[in-house]
Structure 1
Amino acid sequence: MWRLRSGHVSTRLALSREYPHGVPAFAAALADPEFHRVKLDVDGTGRIEVVAFEEREGTGEDDRRVRVVLRQPVPPGQVPAVVERLLSGVLVIERTEEWRLTPQRCDGRARVAVPGTPINAGGTMAVAPTGDGSRLAVDLEITAAIPLLGGGIERAVVTGIRGLTGGEHDRISRWLAAGRAR
């Protein structure tokens, strides 16, 4: 889906995955900074850095707020060639997630920046109950503010994200199955 916004074209990416674990298990995982680092560790090198982690009580009972900022270097070979040409070094993604966690539902916002490039993304995330489990849904708008090349770069980024989600799903599933919590 293409949308025109402020003179720039952006590309929407909507993904969802189901898990056999309930929302309370997901809320506990999202409140753990190590979970965020592990879920993004694409190549298993442990190079994901939790730059900031804040947790505070929300406005209601059983309502917590979490904010996590992560820095993620993208391994060579996983960067689309059209993006590699824009870089002077290693591609680093800075990702900020802000979550409202309750045992019934988790709602979040994500912002992603690629320092040194005009590429960014933002959108929403939600974990909602489905039967005995839960569904994680992510809805992002990816923007590459580069005349003529922006659309191709956005499509390459979307393809890259789709390729990474399978591994991220597996790491989330393993974490939830292990029942880890702080």
Structure 2
Amino acid sequence: MSTRLALSRDYPHGVPAFAAALAEPDFHRVKLDVDGSGRIEVVAFERRDVDARDEEGTRRVRVVLRQPVPPGQVPAVLERMLSGILVIERTEEWTLTPRRCDGRARVAVPGTPISAAGTMAVLPQAPERTRLSIDLDITAAVPLLGGGIERAVVAGIRGLTGSEHDRISRWLVRAEQAG
């Protein structure tokens, strides 16, 4: 069994600006730095241009991040399962074009039976406006408690999306001003 999380956020920036941000390793680190501690680690980053006849400017990006979750932000039901700090390992794979960005995400929480997988997309909404959509299935393979853990994880993610949205917005504004 798993619990689905679907959410979206709108941005006053075009797809090319978002694609440029997703092609930078620091963008991924900054967007997840919830507490401003700088403890988000980019474990691996690959970026390559794709030779595609019908889509000029196509890039593929793969980023692996390790994210410690600050104390007090871990749901109580999870804290009881941990022997130390909760660490999230997140892998994102993106196909970036000037017209849309499509991604896949996999999330693991080492030392726990919790994982997530799903898709992401950045699509145009109007000239110079985009929508980032995320659709994840969260799984906690714990008999009897799995559903409650999944709901706690979904609530935690929803709570963090506001500050993540703010960090993404600030990055895009700075990039626009610098360009």
Using the size of structure 1 for normalisation, the TM-score is 0.94
1:177 aligns with 2:177: no
The amino acid across from 1:48 in the alignment is: I
Given candidates 75, 83, 87, the residue that maps to 2:78 is 83
Give the alignment of 1:68-107 within 5 angstroms: 68-107=63-102
Count of residues paired in the alignment: 174
1:29 aligns with 2:28: no
Distance in 1 separating the partners of 2:121 and 2:34:
22
Q: Percent identity?
A: 79
Shift in Å, 1:162: 0.1
Shift in Å, 1:169: 0.1
2:120 matched to which residue of 1?
Answer: 125
The amino acid across from 1:98 in the alignment is: E
Using the size of structure 2 for normalisation, the TM-score is 0.95
Distance in 2 separating the partners of 1:104 and 1:91:
37
Distance in 2 separating the partners of 1:109 and 1:136:
13
Distance in 2 separating the partners of 1:79 and 1:104:
37
Distance in 1 separating the partners of 2:57 and 2:147:
42
- Quote the RMSD (CA, aligned, Å): 1.2
Residue pair 1:58, 1:100 contacting (<8 A) in 2 also: no
The amino acid across from 2:86 in the alignment is: L
The amino acid across from 1:37 in the alignment is: R
Q: Deviation per CA, 1:84-122, whole angstroms, max 9, x where unpaired? A: 111000000000000000000000000000000000000
Given candidates 137, 142, 146, the residue that maps to 1:146 is 142
Runs of 4+ in 1 over 2 A off after TM superposition: none
1:20 matched to which residue of 2?
Answer: 12
Shift in Å, 1:59: 3.9
2:151 matched to which residue of 1?
Answer: 155
The amino acid across from 2:104 in the alignment is: R
Show structure 2 runs of 5+ residues with no match: none
Show structure 1 runs of 5+ residues with no match: 1-8
1:39 aligns with 2:31: yes
Distance in 2 separating the partners of 1:172 and 1:44:
14
The amino acid across from 2:168 in the alignment is: I
